Amino acid sequence: MRTAGILTTAAVAALVVGAALFWGEIGAALLGAVFHERAGVDTTADLPDGLHVALCGTGAPLPDPGRAGACTVVIAGKHIFVVDSGEGAAKHIALMGIPNGRIEGVFLTHFHSDHIDGLGPMMLLRWTGAGATKPLPIYGGVGVERIVAGFDAAYATDNGYRTEHHGTKIAPPSGAGGKAVSFTPPVRGSLGAVEVYRGGGLRVTAFSVEHGPVEPAVGYRFDYKGRSAVISGDTAASAALVANAKGADLLVHEGLQPALVKRMTAALVARHQPGTAQITRDILTYHTSPEVAAQEAQAAGVKHLLFTHILPPVPSRIAYPAFLGSARKFYDGPITVGEDGMLFSLPAGSRTIDFARLPVN
């Protein structure tokens, strides 16, 4: 009986070893299939001519495992731009199959850390993804020069390593980092806008929003072949946003639900975290509730309201109604709570808004 037990144990051990080898082969095959399906894929290649908006980061400073930091991709024809570059944004762009190397510029709404802390990888992946010979243009209000210079200084050593290791064809020294493109926004409180980019049929204008004490703080409007998208940036209720979003096809608006944030504050107080609790109280003053954003969308006559920069973190779609509150009472168009990987397409010569999902994991 004892001999039989030993034999049984040996047989089990052999099966375990064999299974481990077997599963290793299966794992390698599966990964090979994933690499074949995703590596180097360009999901923008078959998009129709028009304006396309992809969400590469719908999160905010509070930790949210399902969302990268603030980031929106705007594609006009074959031209790719990015608005804001939060943590994890460049990675999500790559996972979505949008070629980092083809990004032609980044527009910053303001300089809060969660809107710029992904600039290093954004500049790096664009540079090495295309063997770029010129730095990535970074558009922003007065002070953007200091932001870009800081990231360039922080990444200078790494840039040198990349060139030395991969060679000047893959990582030309002249293409590393960013180039600040500064503009002066309209005076805060005014309804005007300034043109900050024009080319390839695309016009980008910037308008000041209400995010004090943060200044400059702007939103952007993108117009291309009769289609338009507006990105609010971080803002409280803003007459300038309403004025500049008039008739837009898509309004990508930040959203903070005060009722939920107040519950978070109460939990922080109960756990004796007064510092973080005060921060969650303070953020109520310079963000927009879904209800107010819905009223702005209605006043502007936009065709679709899309929320990003979700506060507080909403870990499940089950909680989306709680986040939206009574927003649907104030806006008679479609409302979407944004998720990373969402793609909205506005084909030229059409009034439709098409929807798709791109992978982010």
Residues with active-site annotation: 114
Beta carbons of 255 and 307 less than 8 angstroms apart: yes
Q: Which helix (H) or strand (E) holds 131?
A: none
* Residue 261, C-beta contacts closer than 8 angstroms, at least 6 positions apart: 280, 283, 284, 311, 312
What are the angstrom distances between the C-alpha of 290 and each of 8, 151, 267, 300?
A: 64, 34, 22, 15
* Residue 286, C-beta contacts closer than 8 angstroms, at least 6 positions apart: 210, 211, 212, 214, 234, 235, 236
**What is the rounded distance in angstroms from the CA atom of residue 73 to the CA atom of residue 52?**
8
**CB atoms < 10 A from the CB of 289, how many?**
23
Single-letter amino acid code for the residue at 290 = P
Residues in the chain: 361
Residue 34 has which token pair?
Answer: 């994933």
Beta carbons of 108 and 72 less than 8 angstroms apart: no
DSSP 47: P
**What is the rounded distance in angstroms from the CA atom of residue 152 to the CA atom of residue 146?**
10
Instruction: Spell 302-316 as b/e; 16+ CB within 10 A means b.
Output: bbbbbbbbbbbbbee
Residue 2 has, within 13 A of its CA and on its CB side, a CA count of 0
Residue 319 has which token pair?
Answer: 């909680």
DSSP 190: -
**By three-state DSSP, how is residue 237 classified?**
coil
